[in-house]
Structure 1
Amino acid sequence: METRSTMINGRRARWAEHGTGSPVVLVHGIPTSPRLWRHVMPLVDGKTLAWEMPGYGSSIPDGKDLDIGLSAQAEYLVEWIESLDLDEPPVLVGHDLGGGVAQIATVRAAERFAGLVLTNSVSYDSWPIPSVKAMQRVAPVLAVLPQLLMYPTFVQLIHRGHDDRNIALESLAEHWGPYVAQGAARSMMRQVSALNVQDTLDIADRLAALNLPARVVWGEADAFQKIKYGERLAADLGADLIRIPGGKHFTPEDHPQAIAAAINSLLTESRKD
């Protein structure tokens, strides 16, 4: 898995890349990075490009003076994809906030994508979740909290979102590091302060008209993004809902085979077309 970067309109764009063939763009959520997809990428029958949202992961410093809300992230995503000069439109895959970014991007520029895969994604009025809303209310205090006081909150979030305890521990090791390096409290404060449910509400009534091949994959036991939202997305997108019994929120880490299978089926469908 190769890490790459480039400058686009004065902004640093970073992503991880693996494989060859038809392109697949993967977008992470909070509090993760492209490393969320580390177990999915080797299973995909194509060229995977896991984009890092500005303000997240190793790009946390790049978000200090940027709008890092979902609507702006969708704009950055499309600009980055355009810069890649791909031979064919990519399949777009999103988890959590990244799923919201993917919805906005496809609504704005459906012709640039070959298909859409959403897994345990924010949508409609499903977010921010209560714990994030609480952090938004105390953001000024959050920004000056000692790092050690943030860690228990982070640990609880990760463990509540995983149904595989060993993978949860691995996930903690993967995703806490960038926050430590950049100041956990300040970094998370910037992220949660930028979240606005209006970004998905503004495009919700346009999802049914997308006319893009789609898959919706959902952990049925997700306490953060409830299965009813997966059902609604599947209905609006004209897609089957692929359920993961007992699956929780971080499906790309706990259930990479299910996510990769959905992506590969969409790639096969697009090749036939």
Structure 2
Amino acid sequence: MHHLVNDHALINNTRIAHGVHGEGEPVVLIHGTPFSSYIWRNVVPPLVAAGYKVHVYDLLGYGLSERPWDYRIDTSVTGQVPVLEGLLQHWSVQDFHLVAHDIGGGIAMRFAATSPERLRSLTLIDTVSFNSWPSRRTQEQMQAGLESLIAAPDAEHKRHFRDWLLSAVFDKERFEKTSLDVFLDFISGPVGQASLFTHQVAHYDAKHTNDLPGLIDVLAGLPVQLLWGAQDAWQVVDWAYELKDIIPGAELHVLEDCGHVAMEDQPEKITAILMKFLERHARLQVSDRSVTAGYKENERETV
């Protein structure tokens, strides 16, 4: 197992695991819940080979980053935005391409809403939006109370969340053979199990994305693409079409034989589409945004 995060930085007095790979135009990748930057392991090498400088990190309360003891530290979608801003300062990155998955998409959109001039392009993969989350299954589980979930026996916890993680992919056999246990380990055990509910599940709240219609106006003129698994059971593809309809000029690619975690099911296709998009919008300057403001590609594409 080779993690992409190979360094640590103190951001807002919390320890964040991160990694920087390659040289060239900056690209920042944000993972979702309950995953880590390991989810990008098949995407980073081709990007580096193509001449991009790729920045990855584990969200606060996730993966190899700090799991704060202080409950007052905000690890919600909104609370993660200052972490991203601190990392960008640490990396000395001013403007960049942003690629985000799941709740990472919520973080990315909130960042874009206040700092659109810093983005060369925005790619959202099977992202949360509006009131698309948490799922009914997760809501029912949350009703049991977080304390009881934190105290559940380890074997019971792992069995339940193993099934939960498997529901996020189309190719379950491939996922089991590659990364399932990595992600399960991060959310299990004496630290991981409590952290899952304290730093992640407790903050599953659509209030962080329900105001998107008011924020999306600022995305006009910014190159945006949506990548979605046709068989996504966590964020069904209907949400992709709704997002496309309200984001000016957004492109949509729907991938067949692909679930919620597109980077696990279709890493080659995801990478190919992403690199084509990045190449098209390479070194896009703020002054060039007026050109893209009129760009529309309204055809829904199925890959």
TM-score if structure 2 supplies the norm length? 0.84
> What does the per-residue CA deviation read over 1:109-141, in whole Å, with 9 as the maximum and x for residues that have no partner?
111221110111101110011222123222121
Q: Which moved more, 1:232-241 or 1:95-104?
A: 232-241
SS of 2:188's equivalent? Answer: helix
Q: How does 1:114-263 map to 2 (within 5 A)?
A: 114-138=120-144, 139-169=146-176, 170-190=178-198, 191-211=200-220, 212-237=222-247, 238-263=249-274
Amino acid of the structure 2 residue aligned with 1:189: F
> What does the per-residue CA deviation read over 1:145-200, in whole Å, with 9 as the maximum and x for residues that have no partner?
12211111211112111111233212212212223355343122111012210110
- Structure 1 distance, partners of 2:126, 2:103, is 9
- Structure 2 distance, partners of 1:131, 1:15, is 32
Partner of 1:271: 282
The CA RMSD over aligned residues, in Å, is: 1.8
SS of 2:109's equivalent? Answer: helix
SS of 1:32's equivalent? Answer: coil
Amino acid of the structure 1 residue aligned with 2:173: N
SS of 2:125's equivalent? Answer: strand
- Structure 2 distance, partners of 1:32, 1:272, is 30
Partner of 2:301: none
User: How many corresponding residue pairs?
Assistant: 272
- Structure 1 distance, partners of 2:189, 2:135, is 26
CA apart distance, 1:218: 0.4
Alignment partner of 1:21 is 2:54: no
TM-score if structure 1 supplies the norm length? 0.93
- Structure 2 distance, partners of 1:184, 1:8, is 21
Shift in alpha-carbon separation, 1:55–1:178, aligned structure 2, 3 A: same
Partner of 2:58: 52
- Structure 2 distance, partners of 1:181, 1:204, is 39
**More helix per residue:** 1
Amino acid of the structure 2 residue aligned with 1:202: D
TM superposition outliers: structure 1 runs of 4+ over 4 Å: none
Larger Rg: 2
Contact 2:229 2:254 in 1 (8 A): yes
For structure 2, the 5+ residue unaligned runs are 285-303
